[in-house]
Amino acid sequence: MRTPTGWFSWVAIALMLGEAGPASAQEVLKLGARETLTVSGFINATLFTDRQRFGGFGQGQNAEWAAQTELPTDKTFADGDIRNTRLSFDFRGEPVLGTWAPRGVVETDFFGGQDLPPFGDEQPRLRARLAYADLSNGRTTLRIGQYWSPIIAFPLGYGAVGMVGWRFPGVYFYRELVAPGGPASAQLQLAAFKGSGPPTPGEDALPINAIGNGEASGLPQLEARLNVGRKTEELRWNAYAVGHVDWKDTTGTGVKGDNLTAWGFEAGGNLAPGHLTLHGNYYYGKALGQQFAHITQQGNVRGWGAWGQAGYDFTPRWSLWGFFGIDDPDEHRFHDDNPALPPLARQVNRDVDGLLRFKAGRYALGLEWFRAMTQWNTGKTQADQVALSVMYTL
């Protein structure tokens, strides 16, 4: 899955860092033929206690929304999680076509699955996250391989309260519209990447042979994004807007049928005056389940989501962060558009989170409380998590 790295890891990592990725020390190794290797990532461990179960992708670093059925008694349990530990290998070569130089990146984590207790849950499996090759002259970059779709927006709300996006193999184009190095920035992103969606009934049930309805359409997903920003000693800000369109063959391969057109829009940004940091984004779209929209529900669903986050650095070591987000699929429109289907299961989800962070160089600790409140077609449930995390940035 997502990663869903889930609430704890996005809050206790992305909030620790205040960035989309680790504030890596970036250890650079010199290889032959004037090539370099940069090793980065982080070691992340979470100890947590849950009251009630989270649904969807699991507990701990996979917590997303409250499970549909609450435990009637004996509701509390404790566990630990290391799956969000991440390693990245960044290879860079010298220019090969004038000023154009190649680059290759492979990134992994440990969300490749795990077996049952008592031993299997302590042995999570390695998984590939990103694998791509760039050709860039510093201002224009052509990227081919698996990377984040432009609609992705960090750091929080992924798959449950307005944070949408996923990683796909495709072709990505980046153009800096303002010369790098100055206080202002502007970037255009264009991307075409593989279609995606669940397999339709009648497809081979074996994962190795299954064809998703996005792939069955024979058409790519398309996105365009504009980033703008400015940075001074007193204020840093950036904003973005993204558009998305894709198609899904809802009858799958081997059966004649029309494609379902999926689309979406997202806008957001962050503002950092002095010691205060503010983040947020909003999305609205249709049939974006493969991008973790609509509380990660597939099919002809419309809905919106939004989240906001605020943090304040009291000292260089101590800071406090708060978050609230919502994802609200339109269950009434779903019923009208899909009268033959059962009611939409997850109808609205709200998450709230608070984090106290301590940071000393590459080492960071986070003490967090997280609550998910989920409206199902069978009623409302909620789940709570209290967690302590540690992170060492490589």
For residue 115, the model assigns a pLDDT of 82
Helices (H) and strands (E) in the chain, counts: 4, 20
Return d(Cα 216, Cα 196) in angstroms, integer.
9
Contact of 16 with 357, CB cutoff 8 Å: yes
Q: Model confidence at 7, in pLDDT bands (50, 70, 90)? A: very low
Contact of 20 with 240, CB cutoff 8 Å: no
Q: Model confidence at 155, in pLDDT bands (50, 70, 90)? A: low
What number is the average pLDDT over the span 68-96? Answer: 94
Q: Which two tokens stand for residue 39?
A: 């090793």
Gyration radius from the chain CA atoms: 21
Q: Write down how long the chain is.
A: 394
Tens digit of pLDDT for each residue in 321-343? 999 999 999 999 999 999 999 99
Report the 3 state secondary structure along the chain. CCCCCHHHHHHHHHHHHCCCCCCCCCEEEECCCCCEEEEEEEEEEEEEEEECCEECCCCHHHCCEECCCCCCCCCEEEEEECCCCEEEEEEECCCCECCEEEEEEEEEECCCCCCCCCCHHHCCCCEEEEEEEEEECCCEEEEEEEEECCCCCCCCCECCCCECCCEEEEEEEEEECCCCCCCEEEEEEEEEECCCCCECCCCCCCCCCCCEHHHHCCCCEEEEEEEEEEECCCEEEEEEEEEEEEEEECCCCCCCCCEEEEEEEEEEEEEEECCEEEEEEEEEEECCHHHCCCCCCCCCCEEEEEEEEEEEECCCCEEEEEEEEEEEECHHHHHHHCCCCCCCCEEEEEEEEEEEEEEECCEEEEEEEEEEEEEECCEEEEEEEEEEEEEEEC
Return d(Cα 35, Cα 278) in angstroms, integer.
39
pTM of the model: 0.89
For residue 180, the model assigns a pLDDT of 85
Tens digit of pLDDT for each residue in 209-242? 688 999 999 999 999 999 999 999 889 999 999 9
Q: Model confidence at 372, in pLDDT bands (50, 70, 90)? A: very high
The residue extents of the domains of the chain are 6-393
State the CATH architecture for 6-393.
Answer: Beta Barrel (2.40)
Residue with tokens 């973790």: 292
For residue 202, the model assigns a pLDDT of 66
